[in-house]
Chain A
Amino acid sequence: DAKTTQPPSMDCAEGRAANLPCNHSTISGNEYVYWYRQIHSQGPQYIIHGLKNNETNEMASLIITEDRKSSTLILPHATLRDTAVYYCIVRGPEEYGNKLVFGAGTILRVKS
């Protein structure tokens, strides 16, 4: 079962920041937070991941609370092409047999 809770849907105006929340109150110390997105009829695309520090890459920023029980994915300037289902996933190290388990995700609709 997925270990995260996300809102089912969100709307964002084009050009504004999209802030997608995720709750993972049962996260363990060695578990990472991953974010993926899936645009209609395509395979999921990796966005970003982190353990406890905030992370930023060319696509997004990941803010993890100090207690690690929640996180927020930030798309700084959302475009229409960012409309997709966004998945927040918690997973332990791959070498111990941990796999990515997808939940329902958040449908983000970017509107002009």
Chain B
Amino acid sequence: SQTIHQWPATLVQPVGSPLSLECTVEGTSNPNLYWYRQAAGRGLQLLFYSVGIGQISSEVPQNLSASRPQDRQFILSSKKLLLSDSGFYLCAWGGNYGYTFGSGTRLTVV
């Protein structure tokens, strides 16, 4: 069966520090992968999606970037975090029958 892993579960980072969040998928090949963010009390916003290795599409301009170095690995990064980058970050893989989400990373920028 397919599983999706995200880590870390929680993270507290100072403003201006770098960020790297990792997401890996097992049990499927060539998945479509997605990064979402949910600010406190807000809905889910799609940040990036990828349909294959090295293929990244950005949905909104922001301080973040994404990379897909391997088929089942999706990484969310930032060189310098802002306070506004705080939120709940979710990775998902998906197809025609919907998406499966990871357990998320709660990022607090202080």
Report which A residues bind B (CB closer than 8 A): 34, 36, 38, 41-46, 49, 93-95, 97, 99-105
Contacts and interface: CB of A to CB of B under 8 A. Distances in A.
A77 B49 CA distance: 36
B43 A45 contact: no
21 contacts: A36-B98, A38-B44, A41-B88, A41-B104, A42-B104, A43-B90, A43-B92, A43-B101, A43-B103, A44-B44, A44-B90, A46-B98, A46-B99, A49-B97, A94-B32, A94-B95, A97-B51, A99-B34, A99-B46, A100-B34, A102-B44
A34 B96 CA distance: 11
A15 B53 CA distance: 47
Interface residues of B, number: 24
Contact of A99 (B49, B103, B104): B49
Contacts of A103: 43
B51 to A, nearest CB: 8
A90 to B, nearest CB: 13
Interface string B70-110: 00000000000000000010101011111111111010000
Interface in B12-59: 32, 34, 36, 43-46, 49, 51
B39 to A, nearest CB: 13
A46 B34 contact: no
A44 B101 CA distance: 6
Nearest to B57: A97
Contacts of A100: 34, 46, 92, 94, 98-99
A36 B44 CA distance: 12
Contacts of B51: 97
A105 B96 contact: no
Residue of A36, A38, A95, A99 with most partner-chain B CB within 10 A: A99
Given A43-B90, A43-B103, A94-B32, A102 B43 contact: yes
Contacts of A105: 43
